[in-house]
Amino acid sequence: MSTSRGGERRLAATLAAMTAIAAGAVVAAPGRVAALLEASARALRSRRSRRKPVRVYMDGCFDLAHFGHANALRQAKACGDTLVVGLVPDAEVLRCKGPPVLREAERRAVIASVKWVDEIIENVPYDLTPAFCETLYSKHGVDFIVHGDDPCLLPDGTDAYDAPKRAGRFRMIKRTEGVSTTDIVNRILRAAASDERRENADPAKDAAKDAAKDAARTPPKRSENRFLATTRRIAQFSGGGRAPQPGQRVVYAHGAFDLFNAGHVRLLREAKKMGDFLLVGVHDDDAARAGRGAAYPVLALPERALGVMACRHVDDVIVGAPAEVTRDLIATFDVRAVVAESGASVPEPERRDRARDARARDDAPAHSGGDIIHSRDEDSFREETRARVIQKRDPNEIAKTLGVFREVPPPAADAESGADRLTSSEIVRRVAAARGAYEARNARKNQTEARYYEQKSNRTIELARET
């Protein structure tokens, strides 16, 4: 690999030198210089096409896949030409790390959407035994096995990557600081606790008082080792951003994209089909928090935006979009279609209130038939609810008025894996429902991560190739 790459580099350097010479010589002998340049470019192209593509393999659980995982995949891809991802199945995750939050099909959908991933192998073992490595080399044509610079130990304390290391087939990439599945589960547990407090609040209370109380609550506690977004990282993920070509139809999808998941992937995939260029607005933290409590969003704006940028269906991203699609936004980006999940036009606070109202109705004593007699309390509760609904605006109202609003139909009930129906709220619900199991798993993982940060040095160099 290094020889042919070295050859390419030399050829590319020659080309650059010739271009520089040509800048001066082109006046004297334009035809000859052009022919020379064309011949060199042909040689470079043919050498590239003759070289056997380097296949690299990265495995993982990729539970609650986050931008740290995406950055690992980006670096792994930079180690070669084709990135093959090994997805560890649920039973293996359970055996080696504890219960996963997401099912295999849900984890798979997000990883398959990451733009640096070329192939996926399912049902791979957590332990890279010599026999399994042999299968990777011979059956899947893998040249190198890649993993982050964090220790990856098997339940018996041995190194899961010992075999490829001994065989000289191991490549290490730099782990992304400030994010991990454990950290995200910790944040979800806090968000779930805040949801419980809100759910138990008196439904007849004044909404403004509720909001004020919520705002006064301690803001979400972020890890002290939290992720720091740099422009370089954003450039690596976005590939510099693309501009729509003349005549391309721009589609705009927007949302919080908190806990980026298979449901988001489906929305973006379907949105892309409605045009040629998909622009995604990732709501700022205030918009993403609206009506959901101080513990939301679970991921901060730069974290959510990177998750969206890593998705292959996305062409460009607005980092910190407003909750409401404005006339100005539509005009500025020449948006031809504003796309949302069906039912998504109902603003989040209203959705919460509808659910709360439904519960309140269920709890109310049944009427005995005949004339419906409302109690004074019930009437005033309805009045308040109506007032709350009126205050809230449909975020897609202007797009509807302009006739550019399109709905993505809900996923078919018989969707193969069911992964498409996943939502961020469902993820929070799952973690809350098994709080004890996740707290126990995280207590073990928190210790390992604390040790990792204590011993952390900066030895591994992050791979520079940007896309």
State the binding string over 152-181 for ligand CTP (x if CB under 6 A, else -): -----------------------xx--xxx
Provide the minimum distance between the beta carbon of 377 and ligand CTP in the complex, in angstroms, as a whole number. Answer: 49
Instruction: Kindly tell me which residue out of 69, 171, 304, 336 binds ligand CTP, with binding defined by CB under 6 A.
Output: 69
Q: How many residues bind ligand CTP (CB under 6 A)?
A: 17
State the binding string over 441-460 for ligand CTP (x if CB under 6 A, else -): --------------------
Provide the minimum distance between the beta carbon of 84 and ligand CTP in the complex, in angstroms, as a whole number. Answer: 13
Query: Of the listed pieces 55-63, 200-208, 234-242, 271-279, which binds ligand CTP according to CB under 6 A?
Result: 55-63
Residue 310 binds ligand CTP (CB under 6 A): no
Query: Of the listed pieces 46-54, 146-154, 294-302, 344-352, which binds ligand CTP according to CB under 6 A?
Result: 146-154
State the binding string over 72-111 for ligand CTP (x if CB under 6 A, else -): x---------------------------------------
Instruction: Please give the residues from 196 up to 255 whose contact with ligand CTP meets the rule CB under 6 A.
Output: none
State the binding string over 179-198 for ligand CTP (x if CB under 6 A, else -): xxxx----------------
Given the complex with ligand CTP, which of 133 and 179 has the nearer CB atom? 179
Sign of the dihedral through C-alpha 356, 359, 361, 365: negative
Provide the minimum distance between the beta carbon of 73 and ligand CTP in the complex, in angstroms, as a whole number. Answer: 8
Provide the minimum distance between the beta carbon of 276 and ligand CTP in the complex, in angstroms, as a whole number. Answer: 32
Provide the minimum distance between the beta carbon of 362 and ligand CTP in the complex, in angstroms, as a whole number. Answer: 39
Pair 337, 264: CB distance under 8 Å: no
Instruction: Kindly tell me which residue out of 22, 55, 68, 220 binds ligand CTP, with binding defined by CB under 6 A.
Output: 68
Instruction: Kindly tell me which residue out of 80, 148, 297, 411 binds ligand CTP, with binding defined by CB under 6 A.
Output: 148
Given the complex with ligand CTP, which of 68 and 220 has the nearer CB atom? 68
Pair 96, 126: CB distance under 8 Å: yes
SS (H, E, C) the chain: CHHHHHHHHHHHHHHHHHHHHHHHHCCCCHHHHHHHHHHHHHHHHHHHHHCCCCEEEEEECCCCCCHHHHHHHHHHHHCCCEEEEEECCHHHHHHHCCCCCCCHHHHHHHHHHECCCCEEEECCCCCCCHHHHHHHHHCCCCCEEEEECCCCECCCCCECCHHHHHCCCEEEECCCCCCCHHHHHHHHHHHHHHHHHHHCCCCCCCHHHHHHHHHHCCCCCCCCCCCCCCHHHHHHHHCCCCCCCCCCCEEEEEECCCCCCHHHHHHHHHHHHCCCEEEEEEECHHHHHCCCCCCCCCCCHHHHHHHHHCECCCCEEEEEECCCCCHHHHHHCCEEEEEEECCCCCCHHHHHHHHHHHHHHHHCCCCCCCCCCCCHHHHHHHHHHHHHHHHCCCCCHHHHHCCCEEEECCCCCCCCCCHHHCCHHHHHHHHHHCHHHHHHHHHHHHHHHHHHHHHCCCCCCCCCCCC
Given the complex with ligand CTP, which of 68 and 293 has the nearer CB atom? 68
Given the complex with ligand CTP, which of 150 and 276 has the nearer CB atom? 150
Instruction: Kindly tell me which residue out of 108, 147, 289, 313 binds ligand CTP, with binding defined by CB under 6 A.
Output: 147
User: 239: which residues sit within 8 A by CB, 6+ positions away?
Assistant: 466, 467
Residue 60 binds ligand CTP (CB under 6 A): yes
Given the complex with ligand CTP, which of 77 and 175 has the nearer CB atom? 175
Instruction: Kindly tell me which residue out of 33, 55, 62, 220 binds ligand CTP, with binding defined by CB under 6 A.
Output: 62
Query: Of the listed pieces 144-152, 244-252, 268-276, 402-410, which binds ligand CTP according to CB under 6 A?
Result: 144-152
- Per CB under 6 A, residues contacting ligand CTP are 58, 60-63, 68-69, 72, 147-148, 150, 175-176, 179-182
